[in-house]
Amino acid sequence: MDQAIARVARAIECAERILVISGAGLSAESGLPTYRGIGGLYNGFTEDGLPIEQVLSGPVLRSQPALCWKYLAELGRACLGAQPNAGHLAIAELQRRKPQCWVLTQNIDGFHQRAGSPEERLICIHGAMQPLYCQSCAAESETLEAALRGGLPPRCQACGGILRPPVVLFEEMLPEAALEQLYSELGKGFEVVLLVGTSASFPYIAEPVLRTRQAGGFTAEINPDLTLLSHSVDVRLAGRALDVLVNLLSHISSH
């Protein structure tokens, strides 16, 4: 493991353009359950007898907002009740040391921002849990924390419409701005791509790894379990993201 860590550290030190791709395994170490899609607080059916993929979907938010918000609120409380861990802080520090280091995250918890990752180099491909906005008039509204203190579903103070977070629910499209940003940066190329705590099951998560490898770049994975890309990366670091990232950062120059 020490040799593998040193190899990844050398590749990062020699690179300018770096992409860190983070998934649920990173935030699991903050106490958040790993998500199945957006709703992995559950496995299979909810207490209402419906699949989580159904209750946390765009159509249900529109047709039965109280039902959808019952589970959105649970997800929101889990995010608000946890804190970024040393892995998030290590990634933010890497971005400080490497001004062309980007983060592409599947996570909706906001931990990268709270750990200090700059918004301008952070692509939240599945959106985030806040700020809330109105489905009817699009006005940005109160914080998630404030909304969860009131009645559900939360309503817009301006028009009375139902509020929602800017998160990608089931049966909804990925945010266009995030996709455009991802493919714009991918078009410029990355020298190093580091997968952290993700199974890489989505094409837009796997593509940066495969394209970078094909172009002669360096790819590595941090995950305790084997994934779909484990045999496609240059180095696989088996272990908890938190531990491996802290160890890796200690091998990288602070200048």
- Catalytic residue positions? 126
Find out whether 212 and 190 touch, Cβ atoms under 8 Å. Answer: yes
Segment (H or E) for 237: strand 235-237
What span, in angstroms and rounded, lies between the C-alpha atoms of 17 and 169? 31
What DSSP letter does each residue of 72-108 carry, written as one string? Answer: HHHHHHHHHTS---HHHHHHHHHHHH-TTEEEEE---
What span, in angstroms and rounded, lies between the C-alpha atoms of 121 and 46? 36
What span, in angstroms and rounded, lies between the C-alpha atoms of 45 and 40? 11
Instruction: Tell me how crowded residue 28 is: count the other CB atoms within 10 A of its CB.
Output: 20
Cβ-proximal residues to 106 (8 Å cutoff; 6+ apart), any chain: 21, 22, 23, 24, 125, 126, 198, 202, 205
What span, in angstroms and rounded, lies between the C-alpha atoms of 22 and 200? 9
What span, in angstroms and rounded, lies between the C-alpha atoms of 20 and 91? 8
